[in-house]
Structure 1
Amino acid sequence: MIFTTPLYAEDAEKILAEVVNQQQQQLPIMLDLATRIDNITYADRTVHYKLTLSGYEGRPGEQAYYQSYLAQQINKSLCSQTAYLLILALGNKITYQYNSADLKNIAEVTLAPGDCKS
């Protein structure tokens, strides 16, 4: 019989920090024609993604549209993926911060533990 020790929260944090560090080394990377991931960090129990949206012009209502649209899309996407659900279940948050090419804040979306309950 093989016995293994349980994965404790401290171990999970170390593993998550290492995974984020490995992903960071592959950046920047384009997700699609308009979205680039520039940076990923893990600190204070939060995985923080910094992204750039190309084509953002700052027209009236555009920022509100993106905030609503991105919040909806992120929630739908992340709440259906086991890896992200595990990150949240371990007490972490996931934040996506979107900026324009000229570094203007467009939107920020954070998912916290419990946000993905159906």
Structure 2
Amino acid sequence: MLFPIYIENIHLAKHGSDSGVYDTHGRIVHSKFEEIFHKHAHVNSDALTADELNEFVKGNREPKDYKGWIGGLVEWKFLHHIAKDNNGVLAKDTIKVVYDGSLFEKLAEQKTNSAKKKHT
């Protein structure tokens, strides 16, 4: 990777208009994680569509925090692009591995498994 992600230092990467899932010490606040789905997952309680994702990002905006707005939008749009499932949604389990730091390992494993299936 071009820029490694170290979860133990995630609190240093917090920005305004974020989801609030990490506290100021970089610990996951599970109730805030679940709140994302309670508030924004209308079609499927365990996934976010592109429209629900937009609603979620807009719902986190702090007034006049333009850098935070752009940061949040870019992060979530990029995540949707690389990690959406075949139905075009971000599954709760996928979003959870973003927060625990194992997303790229999961994506690599999926790619390896997919390649193995093609060769059998």
More strand by share: 1
More helix by share: 2
TM-score by length of 1: 0.29
Structure 1 or 2, whichever has the larger Rg, is 1
TM-score by length of 2: 0.29
